[in-house]
Structure 1
Amino acid sequence: MDNASSQINISFNFISDISNIDYKKKKDFSNVYNIQGMLNIRIENELFFSEEIALLEFYIQVKKWLSNKFDGSFYYNTIEVEGDDNPLIKFVASDNNYFISSPWGQDKVIAKAKAESLIESIKIFTEDFEEELYRTYKLNPKWYI
């Protein structure tokens, strides 16, 4: 019997003030770090991760991973933290599952998730993020990939 989680929810909310965006240089890569927000990952309705991060940076990295057809594991490394806190979020591939971990995660546990559930959750996250980024800041995420 496989004890991998099948219910995963990745949600976010922006907290960056629109005044932080230089619209004369809206395609400038510095905006990657100006778009901050709360990232929440719930596994089986239990809060696994809830932290303020550079959301656009996370989106770019996870979107590139998606475009590579989920080739191997995913490691979210950020310049905003140093040392043992990187990678900040890991999805480590193992057969038809992923082990999800973070040094900032709730109780620093490692969760096991079904691959199809995690991938579907990430697809939903990226679609929602693209819509909200444009609606909130009038930025096209394709400018940064």
Structure 2
Amino acid sequence: MNTVEFNYLFTTNFAHYTPKERRDSSIALEADATFEIKINNDEYFKEDIAILEFYIYLEKWLKKLKRTDIDFKYFTLEVDDDEPLISLLKFNDKSARLKVLWPSQDLYNVFEYDYILSKFQELHEQLGRDLEEHYQIKLKDFVGKIPMRYE
């Protein structure tokens, strides 16, 4: 069975913003991080992304997933492309493919669905805590206020 690991390193901060400015959703795309995905300890993806935007896509997807079976697709406003930057595509009841727009290398990217879903849920929980701590923000100030693209 494949294993997946998500890592991120914040590359920006909001120290120059006042607490009031930190609640303004217009600064969301300024929250950047180097985001890495490893499959079986091998680098599969490593790019700088708008990490707060990515988190909000995770948040919306996990909420929708409670009501309906839907794939995860992260389209960033920073890349003008018809393909999502990162996606999780369920292709039967037990498997899903983790796909990225620019893989570092070709790796077998199919996972047991329950396993990869739990890893995305763990990422969502940890990333949310880390975003609030690092940027000194409240995520509720941004959810629903950032333009998103869905397919």
Same fold (TM over 0.5): yes
- SS in structure 2 at match of 1:128: helix
Question: Which residue matches 1:137?
Answer: 135
Question: Which residue matches 1:125?
Answer: 123
Q: CA deviation at 1:49?
A: 0.9
The code of the aligned residue for 2:52 comes to: L
1:26 aligned to which of 22, 38, 44: 22
Q: CA deviation at 1:21?
A: 4.0
In the alignment, is residue 116 of structure 1 matched against residue 114 of structure 2?
yes
Find the aligned partners of 1:22 and 1:39 in 2 and give their Cα distance.
Answer: 27
Q: CA deviation at 1:23?
A: 3.1
CA contact (8 A) 2:86 2:99 kept: yes
Give the structure with the larger helix fraction: 1
Q: CA deviation at 1:13?
A: 1.3
Question: Which residue matches 2:147?
Answer: none
| TM-score, length of structure 2 as denominator length | 0.82
1:65 aligned to which of 61, 72, 77: 61
| TM-score, length of structure 1 as denominator length | 0.86
Q: CA deviation at 1:19?
A: 3.6
What CA deviation, in whole Å up to 9, does each residue of 1:63-115 have, x standing for no partner?
A: 1111112622111101101135x311111111111111112111355611111
| Structure 1: segments with no counterpart, 5+ residues | none
- SS in structure 1 at match of 2:20: helix
1:14 aligned to which of 10, 35, 42: 10
Question: Which residue matches 2:85?
Answer: 88
Kindly report the root-mean-square deviation, in angstroms, between the aligned alpha carbons of the 2 structures: 1.9
| Structure 2: segments with no counterpart, 5+ residues | 144-151
Aligned-residue identity in percent = 24
